[in-house]
């Protein structure tokens, strides 16, 4: 069932106030400042990304955990940048379609022995609950910033920075109740107005995380995005501490297989709409 279900991940920047209001009253709409939706696939293998210029990838067994990896994370989430202290980094994993969501037609066919015919909505052959949220969590800008500055865990099981080849740019976040793990590549956005703007120069963060060589057009877009991020951060920063825009690129989500199977079978919680 897990392998024959479709999944998508939603990465969003939300206001902390909006999230707080949503937690108090579930009827309060949850809106995003910016979001990216990406199709992902369930795998019994874990992908270990090397966050250096070589961008090497290693695959290791993950079972009994199931891993949802984003191979092109640096490209897909290039514009996901936290630029205000009120910003929160949100991650959702949704099951959308497949074996876990049989159509009403399938349900009716399976009960065809019943003498009383069932009404079928021809406009929608899917069940009303056609989406299920398997993972949801968020962290504030300040939590990401503190871990980014410290380079070590300061939040127990919630959030920690990995130490890969001396670099401190890999962020691990535990889900609510310690369920599941999210792996994020975090880097400070360079102020392009203070850097050389050679067309083939890699973008390097303060922590030494390079995105590698990029083409001219991509370099131009990244330069504009970086300048906009710094402008937004400078305009909204009210403290003496320098406001550093933080780019957060989701690399993978890992969940125990039994939790996924239970949720797909029983669908106990309503989906999170973002």
Q: Which tens digits make up the pLDDT trace of 159-214?
A: 545 544 334 478 888 887 788 999 999 988 865 544 444 443 333 333 333 333 23
In whole angstroms, give the CA distance from residue 246 to residue 205. Answer: 10
Q: Given this model, what pLDDT does residue 28 score?
A: 66
Is 274 contained in some domain?
no
Is 201 contained in some domain?
yes
Residue, of 97 and 185, whose pLDDT is higher: 185
Q: Given this model, what pLDDT does residue 38 score?
A: 96
Which residue intervals of the chain are DSSP H helices?
16-24, 73-76, 104-110, 141-150, 216-236, 257-266
Please give the distance of CA 162 from its chain centroid, rounded to a whole number. Answer: 17
Is 273 contained in some domain?
no
Q: Given this model, what pLDDT does residue 95 score?
A: 92
Is 202 contained in some domain?
yes
When pLDDT is averaged across residues 245-269 and rounded to a whole number, the result is: 90
When pLDDT is averaged across residues 60-66 and rounded to a whole number, the result is: 90
Lowest mean pLDDT among 76-85, 99-108, 201-210, 231-240: 201-210
Is 271 contained in some domain?
no
Average pLDDT, the chain: 72
- pLDDT band (50, 70, 90) for residue 20: confident
Cis bond before residue 64 (omega within 30° of 0): yes
- pLDDT band (50, 70, 90) for residue 92: very high
Domain count, the chain: 1
Is 24 contained in some domain?
yes
Residue 272 has pLDDT above 60, yes or no: yes
Q: Given this model, what pLDDT does residue 225 score?
A: 52
Lowest mean pLDDT among 84-93, 159-168, 202-211, 254-263: 202-211
In whole angstroms, give the CA distance from residue 269 to residue 232. Answer: 37
Do the Cβ atoms of 108 and 120 come closer than 8 Å?
A: yes
- Which backbone phi and psi does 16 adopt, to 5 degrees? -60, -35
CA angle in degrees (0–180, nearest 5) for 73-79-80: 75
- The whole domain housing 187 covers 5-266
Is 147 contained in some domain?
yes
Lowest mean pLDDT among 7-11, 25-29, 109-113: 109-113
In whole angstroms, give the CA distance from residue 2 to residue 98. Answer: 9
């Amino acid at each position: 069932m897990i392998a024959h279900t479709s999944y998508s991940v939603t990465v969003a920047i939300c206001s902390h106030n909006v999230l707080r209001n949503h937690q108090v009253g579930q009827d309060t709409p949850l809106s995003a400042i910016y979001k990216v939706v990406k199709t992902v696939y369930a795998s019994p293998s874990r992908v270990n990304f090397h966050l250096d210029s070589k961008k090497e990838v290693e695959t290791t067994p993950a079972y009994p955990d199931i891993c949802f990896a984003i191979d092109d994370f640096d490209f897909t989430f290039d514009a996901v940048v936290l630029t205000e202290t009120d910003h929160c980094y949100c991650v959702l994993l949704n099951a959308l379609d497949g074996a876990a969501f049989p159509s009403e037609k399938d349900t009716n066919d399976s009960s065809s022995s019943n003498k009383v015919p069932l009404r079928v909505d021809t406009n929608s052959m899917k069940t009303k609950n056609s989406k299920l949220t398997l993972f949801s969590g968020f962290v504030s800008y300040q939590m990401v910033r503190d871990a980014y500055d410290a380079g070590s865990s300061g939040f127990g099981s919630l959030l920690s920075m990995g130490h890969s080849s001396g670099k401190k740019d890999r962020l691990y976040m535990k889900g609510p109740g310690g369920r599941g793990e999210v792996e994020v590549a975090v880097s400070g956005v360079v102020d392009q107005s203070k850097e050389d703007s050679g067309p083939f120069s890699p973008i390097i963060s303060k922590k030494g995380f390079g995105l590698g060589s990029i083409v001219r057009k991509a370099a131009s877009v990244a330069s504009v995005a970086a300048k906009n991020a710094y402008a937004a951060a400078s305009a909204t920063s009210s403290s003496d501490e320098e406001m550093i825009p933080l780019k957060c690129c989701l690399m993978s989500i890992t969940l125990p297989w039994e939790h996924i199977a239970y949720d797909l079978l029983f669908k106990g919680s309503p989906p999170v709409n973002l």
